[in-house]
Amino acid sequence: MAVNKVDLYVSQILEDLDNGLTWLKRDDVGYGSIQEKYNAKDQQITMIRKHPALKDAETNITVFNIIDDTKNERAATTLSSDGCKTDESMERILSSDTSSTKPSGSDLSEYKEDDGKASVTAEDELAAFASL
């Protein structure tokens, strides 16, 4: 009878568990398993898990939750009813102006009004963004 001796290091098993490996192949969540890595049987994994240093060791899986925090109210860009991109903060400033005169300033040189919605050109948006 041939006996294969495999040296298992507690630190390596803990690292494997921290990297998402599960104990058993049937529990694999896509990172692999210790059972598969060392070609072990269920009974051998049970024996390994009984070691005092590994008794409570469990798989650690990192889950990334992506949160889109780029939607800043001051710099949000939308399309106005005429299809032109409009800076919402600029739109609020211009629409809050109750006078019907054209606003002054080089950034608003191509100001127009459609159905009460203010529109500025892409160049004006870049200039407004650069001044933030």
- pLDDT for 71-118, tens place per residue? 875 555 555 555 555 555 555 555 555 444 444 444 444 444 455 545
Has residue 9 been placed in a domain? Answer: yes
The residue from 35, 63, 91 where one domain ends is: 63
List the one residue out of 84, 87, 69, 89 whose CA is nearest residue 115: 84
This prediction has a pTM of 0.48
Task: Please name the amino acid found at residue 102.
Answer: K
Helix, strand, coil % in the chain, rounded to nearest 5: 35, 10, 55
Would you give the end-to-end CA distance of the chain in angstroms?
Answer: 77
pLDDT of residue 39: 93
Exposed, middle or buried: residue 85 (CB in 10 Å: 0-12, 13-18, 19+)? middle
pLDDT of residue 129: 55
Please, what is the angle between helix 122-130 and helix 88-96, to 10°?
Answer: 100
Q: Do residues 37 and 86 share a domain? A: no
pLDDT of residue 65: 92
Tokens of 71: 């939607």
User: 46 pLDDT band (50/70/90 cuts)?
Assistant: very high
Q: Do residues 3 and 56 share a domain? A: yes
Q: Do residues 46 and 8 share a domain? A: yes
> By mean pLDDT, which of 6-15, 46-55, 115-124 is the weakest?
115-124
The residue from 36, 63, 90 where one domain ends is: 63
Has residue 70 been placed in a domain? Answer: no
Tokens of 12: 């390596």
The residue from 63, 85, 104 where one domain ends is: 63
* Cβ within 8 Å of residue 61, ≥6 positions away: 20, 29, 31
Q: Do residues 4 and 55 share a domain? A: yes
Q: Do residues 49 and 2 share a domain? A: yes
For residue 98, what are the domain limits? 77-130
